[in-house]
Chains A and B, each alone.
Chain A
Amino acid sequence: MNKTEIKEKKTGAIKRSHRVFRVEEQFRLMADAAPMLLWVSGIDNHSSFFNKAWLRFTGRTLSEESGEGWADGVHPDDIENCTKIYNNSFLKQKGFKMEYRLRRHDGQYRWILDSATPRFTKNKKFLGFIGSGVDIHELKEIEYKKDQFINAASHELRTPVTSLSVYLHLLKEYFENSPDKKYRSFVSGAMGQVNKIAELIDQILDLSRIQSGSLNFKYSIFSFGDFVKSIVKKIQAVNPSHTIRLKGNIHSMIKGDPTRLSQALENLLGNALKYSKEDGKIVVALSEDTKFVKVNVIDFGLGINKEYLTQVFERFYRIQGTKEETFPGLGIGLYVSQEIIKKHGGKISAESIRDKETKFTFQIPVYKKQVKHI
């Protein structure tokens, strides 16, 4: 390399360094002007930059927050979970979202939603994260009040439902010996409706429990095939106009909460009944491999457009459409079912061809007996 080449190389390096400096400076200006709390961490797993909004929020200096200093402001009850999410995402080099309480300059802990995106070079070398935090404290408080309200409302609604169902039970007994069967069927009809109200209250309550992480599960070990058969039998008995065909025979045991799993399966069957033709056929297909048991619930009714297939599992989501809007529902069932399946270490998905068929599939891990090695 001659002198001219060396000079050109040096000039190039200086220009690149100036360009990098200008880009960094522009980023810093933008970050400091942004209203949300921004931070940047490096390959050493330490945070090196916090924007002005962050420093104003915490009332601390950049040097105090740098490295692992920011963790001093995280609520003691949240720090373990925070560190776990951060370190796992760092190892996987994947983005993350987490909620935690961060101490504000006045000493008050505020809920923050922190979203981080991994940074990479052109050659896909991991450089750390860039994160942004938003104060969601008011939103959290509203959610808490909403959960409190749902708890109180469900309590208030259950009490009259209890009285009503006892009165109806007494009426049913009274008409049991009546020669006029008509009255018996009236009372049975009314009891069915009361049960529906009770189920709706439970659904709304489950939703609130999922939000607060207090949905309880009582696990036991049982045969998944027998369990599905019993649910199909029960649903078929109360829906004689439809034919529910059970296909496949499986033998694996699972560890799960039978009440919660029946809630999920009954919800899928309920949707299949609701959206299929009046005298429609529904197929429940069972299969298994060494890791999972699987159940497909297939109906041949209205179908779902492809773009809605993942959204149907979202809370309160109801498909917009002239036909769909005519069907009753709260948009809770599939969300609750998904949460139940997830809690069992399983997965739920949907496939559909509009106006032909819809297939909901869920799978649960097979229970494997722990063998003690001596």
Chain B
Amino acid sequence: MSKILVVDDDVDILSVMEILLSMKGFDVQVTSKGENTFPKVEIFKPDLILLDVLISGHDGRTICKQLKSNKETSHIPVIMFSAHPGAAATISDYGADDFIAKPFDVNNLLKKVNAQLGISAN
């Protein structure tokens, strides 16, 4: 079972993502605090991270850059997501593997998740 860590400061989003991804057969953990990302990654060892761009008090892009520059975590695919206009244009410099804008189409999100995890659609 692939493990996914979701980082977002909006607890409603975390709650629905946890339900959705669990129902799709993933092992999911969530956190609303940017500073919890690194301890969670260390303990949970996710196969994929879904990371919000603007997390209260933290910039998800900086977190992504730190994850990608650490040899222990650089291999973990990171999909950034945001409801913020224009966020997509700014993420490529931070090493994110993909981006999805909120609100997203669920099928599109799952396609991106599966692609990063190397899971075929069927």
Contacts and interface: CB of A to CB of B under 8 A. Distances in A.
Interface in B65-122: 83-86, 89, 102-106
A346 B116 CA distance: 40
A166 B106 contact: yes
B102 A158 contact: yes
A189 B51 CA distance: 31
Nearest to A165: B103
A271 interface: no
Given A158-B102, A159-B10, A159-B102, A166 B16 contact: yes
A205 B83 CA distance: 12
A169 interface: yes
Interface size class of A (residues with CB under 8 A): 20 to 34
A154 B85 CA distance: 8
B70 to A, nearest CB: 29
Interface string B3-17: 000000010110111
A163 B16 contact: yes
Nearest to B14: A163
A163 B10 CA distance: 10
A207 to B, nearest CB: 12
Contacts of A160: 12
Contacts of A318: none
Contacts of A45: none
Contact of B104 (A154, A162, A164, A209): A162
Interface string A138-162: 0000000000000100110011111
Nearest to A206: B85
A322 interface: no
Contact of A162 (B19, B23, B83, B85): B83
Given A159-B10, A161-B103, A166 B86 contact: no
Nearest to B106: A169
Given A155-B83, A158-B83, A214-B86, A170 B23 contact: yes
B12 A159 contact: yes
A155 B19 CA distance: 23
A155 B84 contact: yes
Given A164-B103, A169-B20, 17 more contacts: A154-B83, A154-B85, A155-B83, A158-B83, A159-B12, A159-B102, A161-B102, A162-B16, A163-B10, A165-B105, A165-B106, A166-B16, A166-B19, A166-B20, A194-B103, A214-B86, A216-B89
27 contacts: A151-B84, A151-B85, A154-B85, A155-B84, A155-B85, A158-B83, A158-B102, A159-B10, A159-B12, A159-B13, A159-B102, A160-B12, A161-B102, A161-B103, A162-B13, A162-B102, A162-B103, A162-B104, A163-B12, A163-B13, A163-B15, A163-B16, A166-B16, A166-B19, A169-B20, A170-B19, A216-B86
